[in-house]
Structure 1
Amino acid sequence: MDRRKKYTQMVLKESFLKLLNEKNLSSITVKELCQLADINRSTFYSHYADQYDLLSKMEEEIIDDMTLYLNGCNLTKEDEAEQVTEKLMEYIVKNKEVCQTLLGGNGNAGFLQKVMAVAKENIKKSGSLENQLSEDIAEYWSTFIVSGGIYVIKNWLERGMDKTPKEMAGMINAFANSGFNMLKIH
Protein backbone atom coordinates (compact mmCIF):
# COMPACT_ATOMS: atom_id res chain seq x y z
CA MET A 1 0.00 0.00 0.00
CA ASP A 2 1.42 3.40 -0.90
CA ARG A 3 1.92 6.24 1.57
CA ARG A 4 -1.09 8.23 0.36
CA LYS A 5 -3.48 5.34 0.97
CA LYS A 6 -1.98 4.69 4.40
CA TYR A 7 -2.26 8.37 5.27
CA THR A 8 -5.87 8.55 4.06
CA GLN A 9 -6.85 5.49 6.08
CA MET A 10 -5.05 6.84 9.15
CA VAL A 11 -6.82 10.21 8.92
CA LEU A 12 -10.18 8.53 8.42
CA LYS A 13 -9.63 6.26 11.42
CA GLU A 14 -8.52 9.13 13.65
CA SER A 15 -11.50 11.25 12.60
CA PHE A 16 -13.84 8.32 13.08
CA LEU A 17 -12.52 7.68 16.61
CA LYS A 18 -13.00 11.35 17.44
CA LEU A 19 -16.62 11.23 16.27
CA LEU A 20 -17.22 7.90 18.00
CA ASN A 21 -16.06 9.45 21.27
CA GLU A 22 -18.68 12.16 20.84
CA LYS A 23 -21.70 10.20 19.61
CA ASN A 24 -23.21 6.83 18.79
CA LEU A 25 -22.15 4.96 15.69
CA SER A 26 -25.63 5.23 14.18
CA SER A 27 -25.44 9.03 14.42
CA ILE A 28 -22.18 9.31 12.49
CA THR A 29 -22.51 10.07 8.79
CA VAL A 30 -19.97 9.54 6.05
CA LYS A 31 -20.43 13.20 5.12
CA GLU A 32 -19.37 14.52 8.54
CA LEU A 33 -16.57 11.97 8.75
CA CYS A 34 -15.21 13.15 5.41
CA GLN A 35 -15.52 16.79 6.44
CA LEU A 36 -13.61 16.19 9.66
CA ALA A 37 -10.93 14.18 7.85
CA ASP A 38 -10.81 16.69 4.97
CA ILE A 39 -11.29 13.83 2.53
CA ASN A 40 -13.64 13.56 -0.47
CA ARG A 41 -16.55 11.16 -0.13
CA SER A 42 -15.36 9.33 -3.25
CA THR A 43 -12.00 8.80 -1.54
CA PHE A 44 -13.75 7.42 1.52
CA TYR A 45 -15.79 5.03 -0.64
CA SER A 46 -12.65 3.82 -2.41
CA HIS A 47 -11.55 2.43 0.98
CA TYR A 48 -14.76 1.58 2.85
CA ALA A 49 -18.38 0.77 2.01
CA ASP A 50 -19.72 2.91 4.90
CA GLN A 51 -18.97 3.87 8.50
CA TYR A 52 -19.92 0.37 9.68
CA ASP A 53 -17.38 -1.16 7.30
CA LEU A 54 -14.73 1.23 8.64
CA LEU A 55 -15.55 0.20 12.20
CA SER A 56 -15.50 -3.47 11.30
CA LYS A 57 -12.10 -3.18 9.63
CA MET A 58 -10.70 -1.23 12.59
CA GLU A 59 -11.95 -3.90 14.98
CA GLU A 60 -10.42 -6.66 12.84
CA GLU A 61 -7.09 -4.82 12.78
CA ILE A 62 -7.09 -4.45 16.56
CA ILE A 63 -7.97 -8.11 17.12
CA ASP A 64 -5.31 -9.26 14.61
CA ASP A 65 -2.72 -6.87 16.05
CA MET A 66 -3.53 -7.92 19.61
CA THR A 67 -3.30 -11.61 18.69
CA LEU A 68 0.06 -11.10 16.94
CA TYR A 69 1.35 -9.11 19.90
CA LEU A 70 0.33 -11.80 22.38
CA ASN A 71 1.62 -14.64 20.19
CA GLY A 72 4.98 -12.90 19.94
CA CYS A 73 5.52 -12.95 23.70
CA ASN A 74 7.22 -16.41 23.80
CA LEU A 75 6.14 -17.24 27.33
CA THR A 76 6.48 -20.62 28.97
CA LYS A 77 3.41 -22.43 30.33
CA GLU A 78 4.38 -21.61 33.93
CA ASP A 79 4.57 -17.87 33.19
CA GLU A 80 1.68 -17.76 30.81
CA ALA A 81 -1.49 -16.66 32.59
CA GLU A 82 -0.34 -13.59 34.48
CA GLN A 83 2.27 -12.52 31.94
CA VAL A 84 -0.12 -12.84 29.00
CA THR A 85 -2.60 -10.71 30.95
CA GLU A 86 0.16 -8.20 31.68
CA LYS A 87 1.14 -8.13 27.99
CA LEU A 88 -2.50 -7.54 27.11
CA MET A 89 -2.63 -4.63 29.56
CA GLU A 90 0.57 -3.20 28.04
CA TYR A 91 -0.98 -3.51 24.59
CA ILE A 92 -4.02 -1.58 25.80
CA VAL A 93 -1.79 1.15 27.23
CA LYS A 94 0.02 1.44 23.87
CA ASN A 95 -3.32 1.63 22.05
CA LYS A 96 -5.24 3.51 24.72
CA GLU A 97 -7.33 5.79 22.52
CA VAL A 98 -8.61 3.15 20.14
CA CYS A 99 -9.22 0.58 22.89
CA GLN A 100 -11.00 3.12 25.07
CA THR A 101 -13.20 4.20 22.19
CA LEU A 102 -14.03 0.72 20.89
CA LEU A 103 -14.74 -0.63 24.37
CA GLY A 104 -16.62 2.54 25.40
CA GLY A 105 -20.31 3.26 25.42
CA ASN A 106 -20.48 4.42 21.79
CA GLY A 107 -18.52 1.45 20.46
CA ASN A 108 -19.95 -1.65 18.89
CA ALA A 109 -21.12 -4.38 21.26
CA GLY A 110 -19.97 -6.84 18.60
CA PHE A 111 -16.38 -5.79 19.29
CA LEU A 112 -16.74 -6.95 22.88
CA GLN A 113 -17.99 -10.29 21.58
CA LYS A 114 -14.98 -10.59 19.26
CA VAL A 115 -12.53 -9.78 22.06
CA MET A 116 -14.29 -12.30 24.30
CA ALA A 117 -14.11 -14.98 21.60
CA VAL A 118 -10.35 -14.44 21.15
CA ALA A 119 -9.75 -14.54 24.90
CA LYS A 120 -11.85 -17.69 25.35
CA GLU A 121 -10.00 -19.35 22.47
CA ASN A 122 -6.66 -18.56 24.14
CA ILE A 123 -7.92 -20.08 27.40
CA LYS A 124 -8.96 -23.25 25.54
CA LYS A 125 -5.63 -23.41 23.66
CA SER A 126 -3.69 -23.26 26.91
CA GLY A 127 -5.35 -26.51 27.96
CA SER A 128 -5.40 -25.38 31.57
CA LEU A 129 -9.02 -26.48 32.05
CA GLU A 130 -9.11 -29.76 30.13
CA ASN A 131 -8.16 -32.09 32.96
CA GLN A 132 -9.68 -30.10 35.81
CA LEU A 133 -13.23 -29.19 34.76
CA SER A 134 -15.91 -30.79 32.64
CA GLU A 135 -16.34 -29.21 29.22
CA ASP A 136 -19.66 -27.52 30.01
CA ILE A 137 -18.40 -26.10 33.34
CA ALA A 138 -15.18 -24.93 31.64
CA GLU A 139 -17.29 -23.08 29.06
CA TYR A 140 -19.29 -21.28 31.75
CA TRP A 141 -16.18 -20.48 33.76
CA SER A 142 -14.25 -19.09 30.78
CA THR A 143 -17.26 -16.95 29.77
CA PHE A 144 -17.52 -15.58 33.31
CA ILE A 145 -13.80 -14.83 33.63
CA VAL A 146 -13.44 -13.28 30.19
CA SER A 147 -16.56 -11.11 30.61
CA GLY A 148 -15.45 -9.98 34.04
CA GLY A 149 -11.93 -9.32 32.82
CA ILE A 150 -13.16 -7.15 29.97
CA TYR A 151 -15.35 -5.10 32.26
CA VAL A 152 -12.48 -4.70 34.74
CA ILE A 153 -10.36 -3.43 31.83
CA LYS A 154 -13.14 -1.03 30.78
CA ASN A 155 -13.33 0.28 34.33
CA TRP A 156 -9.54 0.66 34.41
CA LEU A 157 -9.65 2.70 31.20
CA GLU A 158 -12.48 4.87 32.55
CA ARG A 159 -10.47 5.51 35.73
CA GLY A 160 -7.54 6.80 33.69
CA MET A 161 -5.48 3.61 34.01
CA ASP A 162 -4.74 4.32 37.68
CA LYS A 163 -2.86 1.04 38.12
CA THR A 164 0.12 -0.36 36.21
CA PRO A 165 -0.37 -3.19 33.69
CA LYS A 166 1.42 -5.50 36.14
CA GLU A 167 -0.94 -4.55 39.00
CA MET A 168 -3.98 -5.06 36.79
CA ALA A 169 -2.72 -8.42 35.54
CA GLY A 170 -2.17 -9.55 39.13
CA MET A 171 -5.67 -8.47 40.13
CA ILE A 172 -7.42 -10.07 37.15
CA ASN A 173 -5.52 -13.33 37.60
CA ALA A 174 -6.20 -13.37 41.35
CA PHE A 175 -9.92 -12.95 40.65
CA ALA A 176 -9.81 -15.72 38.04
CA ASN A 177 -7.80 -18.09 40.24
CA SER A 178 -10.00 -17.63 43.29
CA GLY A 179 -13.08 -18.38 41.19
CA PHE A 180 -11.38 -21.39 39.65
CA ASN A 181 -10.34 -22.73 43.05
CA MET A 182 -13.92 -22.40 44.28
CA LEU A 183 -15.12 -24.41 41.28
CA LYS A 184 -12.67 -27.21 42.00
CA ILE A 185 -13.97 -27.44 45.60
CA HIS A 186 -17.55 -27.94 44.45
Structure 2
Amino acid sequence: MNSKLDRRIQYTRMILKESLMKLLKEKPISSITVKELCALADINRSTFYSHYSDQYDLLTQVEEEIIQDMNETLLNYNINQDEESFQMIEKIVEYVAANSDICETLFSENGDPSFKKRVMMLAHDYTVKSWMSSYPVDDSITSEYASLFAISGSIHILEIWLKNGMDKTPKEMAEIINNLTNKGLSSLR
Protein backbone atom coordinates (compact mmCIF):
# COMPACT_ATOMS: atom_id res chain seq x y z
CA MET A 1 0.00 0.00 0.00
CA ASN A 2 2.83 2.41 0.87
CA SER A 3 4.60 1.96 -2.48
CA LYS A 4 1.32 2.64 -4.32
CA LEU A 5 0.94 5.87 -2.36
CA ASP A 6 4.56 6.78 -3.03
CA ARG A 7 4.04 6.24 -6.77
CA ARG A 8 0.99 8.50 -6.73
CA ILE A 9 2.93 11.20 -4.89
CA GLN A 10 5.83 10.85 -7.32
CA TYR A 11 3.45 11.01 -10.29
CA THR A 12 1.67 14.08 -8.94
CA ARG A 13 4.94 15.91 -8.31
CA MET A 14 6.29 14.90 -11.72
CA ILE A 15 3.18 16.12 -13.57
CA LEU A 16 3.18 19.40 -11.63
CA LYS A 17 6.88 19.89 -12.41
CA GLU A 18 6.26 19.21 -16.12
CA SER A 19 3.28 21.58 -16.13
CA LEU A 20 5.35 24.32 -14.50
CA MET A 21 8.15 23.89 -17.05
CA LYS A 22 5.63 24.05 -19.89
CA LEU A 23 4.15 27.29 -18.55
CA LEU A 24 7.58 28.82 -17.82
CA LYS A 25 8.41 28.46 -21.51
CA GLU A 26 5.56 30.86 -22.21
CA LYS A 27 5.68 33.33 -19.31
CA PRO A 28 7.46 34.24 -16.07
CA ILE A 29 6.61 32.61 -12.75
CA SER A 30 4.92 35.82 -11.55
CA SER A 31 2.30 35.36 -14.29
CA ILE A 32 1.61 31.69 -13.54
CA THR A 33 -1.26 30.84 -11.21
CA VAL A 34 -1.88 27.71 -9.17
CA LYS A 35 -5.25 27.44 -10.95
CA GLU A 36 -3.66 27.16 -14.40
CA LEU A 37 -0.96 24.78 -13.10
CA CYS A 38 -3.69 22.51 -11.74
CA ALA A 39 -5.71 22.72 -14.94
CA LEU A 40 -2.70 21.80 -17.08
CA ALA A 41 -1.70 18.97 -14.72
CA ASP A 42 -5.34 17.82 -14.47
CA ILE A 43 -5.31 17.77 -10.67
CA ASN A 44 -7.40 19.67 -8.15
CA ARG A 45 -6.08 22.55 -6.10
CA SER A 46 -6.28 20.71 -2.79
CA THR A 47 -3.91 18.08 -4.21
CA PHE A 48 -1.53 20.82 -5.29
CA TYR A 49 -1.62 22.44 -1.85
CA SER A 50 -0.95 19.10 -0.15
CA HIS A 51 2.47 19.17 -1.87
CA TYR A 52 3.37 22.86 -2.31
CA SER A 53 2.38 26.16 -0.74
CA ASP A 54 2.27 28.02 -4.10
CA GLN A 55 3.83 28.11 -7.58
CA TYR A 56 7.00 29.68 -6.16
CA ASP A 57 7.42 26.78 -3.73
CA LEU A 58 7.11 24.33 -6.63
CA LEU A 59 9.73 26.26 -8.61
CA THR A 60 12.03 26.33 -5.59
CA GLN A 61 11.70 22.55 -5.19
CA VAL A 62 12.57 22.00 -8.87
CA GLU A 63 15.59 24.30 -8.54
CA GLU A 64 16.71 22.60 -5.31
CA GLU A 65 16.66 19.23 -7.07
CA ILE A 66 18.96 20.56 -9.80
CA ILE A 67 21.29 22.27 -7.30
CA GLN A 68 21.50 19.11 -5.19
CA ASP A 69 22.29 16.94 -8.22
CA MET A 70 24.99 19.36 -9.37
CA ASN A 71 26.45 19.56 -5.88
CA GLU A 72 26.68 15.76 -5.68
CA THR A 73 28.42 15.71 -9.06
CA LEU A 74 30.93 18.38 -8.01
CA LEU A 75 31.76 16.62 -4.75
CA ASN A 76 32.84 13.49 -6.62
CA TYR A 77 35.80 15.19 -8.31
CA ASN A 78 39.09 16.82 -7.37
CA ILE A 79 39.35 19.95 -9.49
CA ASN A 80 43.09 20.26 -8.78
CA GLN A 81 43.78 17.22 -10.94
CA ASP A 82 43.48 18.07 -14.64
CA GLU A 83 41.92 14.77 -15.67
CA GLU A 84 39.33 14.87 -12.89
CA SER A 85 38.64 18.53 -13.62
CA PHE A 86 37.76 17.65 -17.20
CA GLN A 87 35.65 14.66 -16.08
CA MET A 88 33.77 16.93 -13.67
CA ILE A 89 33.02 19.44 -16.43
CA GLU A 90 31.97 16.64 -18.77
CA LYS A 91 29.62 15.15 -16.14
CA ILE A 92 28.02 18.55 -15.51
CA VAL A 93 27.55 19.10 -19.27
CA GLU A 94 26.11 15.59 -19.60
CA TYR A 95 23.74 16.38 -16.72
CA VAL A 96 22.64 19.60 -18.43
CA ALA A 97 22.13 17.66 -21.69
CA ALA A 98 20.10 14.94 -19.96
CA ASN A 99 17.96 17.63 -18.31
CA SER A 100 18.12 20.07 -21.21
CA ASP A 101 14.45 20.95 -21.23
CA ILE A 102 14.41 21.88 -17.54
CA CYS A 103 17.82 23.58 -17.61
CA GLU A 104 17.00 25.65 -20.69
CA THR A 105 13.72 26.75 -19.11
CA LEU A 106 15.29 27.60 -15.75
CA PHE A 107 18.12 29.55 -17.41
CA SER A 108 15.70 31.42 -19.69
CA GLU A 109 14.38 34.94 -19.16
CA ASN A 110 11.19 33.42 -17.68
CA GLY A 111 13.13 31.40 -15.12
CA ASP A 112 14.06 32.60 -11.67
CA PRO A 113 17.13 34.89 -12.03
CA SER A 114 18.34 33.81 -8.61
CA PHE A 115 18.64 30.20 -9.85
CA LYS A 116 21.44 31.07 -12.25
CA LYS A 117 23.19 32.95 -9.44
CA ARG A 118 22.83 29.96 -7.12
CA VAL A 119 24.32 27.63 -9.74
CA MET A 120 27.17 30.08 -10.23
CA MET A 121 27.80 30.36 -6.49
CA LEU A 122 27.75 26.59 -6.06
CA ALA A 123 30.37 26.12 -8.76
CA HIS A 124 32.29 29.18 -7.51
CA ASP A 125 32.41 27.96 -3.91
CA TYR A 126 33.63 24.56 -5.03
CA THR A 127 36.29 25.85 -7.41
CA VAL A 128 37.56 28.57 -5.10
CA LYS A 129 38.08 26.04 -2.30
CA SER A 130 40.03 23.83 -4.69
CA TRP A 131 41.95 26.60 -6.41
CA MET A 132 42.84 28.31 -3.11
CA SER A 133 44.94 25.34 -2.10
CA SER A 134 47.08 25.74 -5.22
CA TYR A 135 47.57 29.54 -5.00
CA PRO A 136 49.60 31.51 -2.47
CA VAL A 137 47.44 33.40 0.07
CA ASP A 138 48.10 36.81 -1.53
CA ASP A 139 46.64 35.56 -4.84
CA SER A 140 43.33 34.46 -3.28
CA ILE A 141 41.41 37.51 -4.54
CA THR A 142 42.71 36.99 -8.07
CA SER A 143 41.75 33.33 -7.77
CA GLU A 144 38.22 34.29 -6.72
CA TYR A 145 37.82 36.72 -9.65
CA ALA A 146 39.19 34.13 -12.08
CA SER A 147 36.73 31.57 -10.73
CA LEU A 148 33.74 33.92 -11.10
CA PHE A 149 34.84 34.86 -14.61
CA ALA A 150 35.25 31.22 -15.69
CA ILE A 151 31.99 30.03 -14.13
CA SER A 152 29.91 32.91 -15.45
CA GLY A 153 31.28 32.34 -18.93
CA SER A 154 30.72 28.60 -18.69
CA ILE A 155 27.09 29.02 -17.70
CA HIS A 156 26.50 31.43 -20.58
CA ILE A 157 28.17 28.99 -22.97
CA LEU A 158 25.82 26.25 -21.76
CA GLU A 159 22.80 28.56 -22.18
CA ILE A 160 23.73 29.27 -25.80
CA TRP A 161 24.45 25.59 -26.40
CA LEU A 162 20.97 24.70 -25.15
CA LYS A 163 19.38 27.46 -27.28
CA ASN A 164 21.27 26.11 -30.31
CA GLY A 165 19.70 22.70 -29.83
CA MET A 166 22.86 21.16 -28.33
CA ASP A 167 24.66 21.34 -31.67
CA LYS A 168 27.82 19.80 -30.15
CA THR A 169 28.22 16.69 -28.03
CA PRO A 170 28.59 17.06 -24.26
CA LYS A 171 32.22 15.94 -24.60
CA GLU A 172 32.92 18.66 -27.21
CA MET A 173 31.29 21.27 -24.97
CA ALA A 174 33.30 20.07 -21.97
CA GLU A 175 36.50 20.41 -24.04
CA ILE A 176 35.57 23.96 -25.08
CA ILE A 177 34.76 24.98 -21.50
CA ASN A 178 37.85 23.24 -20.11
CA ASN A 179 40.16 24.84 -22.70
CA LEU A 180 38.71 28.32 -22.23
CA THR A 181 38.85 27.98 -18.45
CA ASN A 182 42.40 26.67 -18.32
CA LYS A 183 44.01 28.40 -21.31
CA GLY A 184 41.77 31.37 -22.02
CA LEU A 185 41.11 32.76 -25.48
CA SER A 186 44.59 31.68 -26.62
CA SER A 187 43.19 28.10 -26.76
CA LEU A 188 41.13 29.14 -29.82
CA ARG A 189 44.15 29.77 -32.00
Is the pair's TM-score, using the shorter chain for normalization, greater than 0.5?
A: yes
Alpha-carbon contact 2:67-2:119 (below 8 Å) kept:
yes
Q: 2:139 aligns with which of 134, 144, 149?
A: 134
3-state SS of the aligned residue for 1:161? coil
Name the residue aligned to 1:30.
Answer: 34
Give the letter aligned to residue 169 of structure 1: A
Q: 1:2 aligns with which of 2, 6, 10?
A: 6
CA distance in structure 1 between the partners assigned to 2:147 and 2:11 by the alignment: 39
Name the residue aligned to 1:184.
Answer: none
User: What is the CA distance between 1:70 and its match in structure 2?
Assistant: 4.0
CA distance in structure 1 between the partners assigned to 2:58 and 2:16 by the alignment: 9
Name the residue aligned to 1:117.
Answer: 121
User: What is the CA distance between 1:170 and its match in structure 2?
Assistant: 1.0
Give the letter aligned to residue 6 of structure 1: Q
- Equivalent residue runs for 1:1-186 within 5 Å: 2-72=6-76, 77-127=81-131, 130-131=134-135, 134-179=139-184
Runs of 4+ in 1 over 3 A off after TM superposition: 69-76, 127-130
CA distance in structure 1 between the partners assigned to 2:124 and 2:74 by the alignment: 14
Change in 2 beyond 3 A, CA 1:59/1:75: same
User: What is the CA distance between 1:128 and its match in structure 2?
Assistant: 6.1
Alpha-carbon contact 1:15-1:33 (below 8 Å) kept:
yes
Q: Which runs of 5+ in 1 are unaligned?
A: 182-186
Change in 2 beyond 3 A, CA 1:164/1:17: same
Q: Which runs of 5+ in 2 are unaligned?
A: none
3-state SS of the aligned residue for 2:168? coil
Change in 2 beyond 3 A, CA 1:76/1:120: closer
Percent of aligned positions that are identical = 51
User: What is the CA distance between 1:150 and its match in structure 2?
Assistant: 0.3
User: What is the CA distance between 1:66 and its match in structure 2?
Assistant: 2.1
Which deviates further from its counterpart, 72-81 or 23-32?
Answer: 72-81
Alpha-carbon contact 1:100-1:154 (below 8 Å) kept:
yes
Alpha-carbon contact 2:20-2:37 (below 8 Å) kept:
yes
User: What is the CA distance between 1:140 and its match in structure 2?
Assistant: 1.1
RMSD: 2.2
Change in 2 beyond 3 A, CA 1:136/1:81: same
Deviations 1:86-122 (A, max 9, x none): 1111111111111111111210111001100111122
Alpha-carbon contact 1:129-1:138 (below 8 Å) kept:
no
Change in 2 beyond 3 A, CA 1:59/1:144: same
CA distance in structure 1 between the partners assigned to 2:185 and 2:144 by the alignment: 12
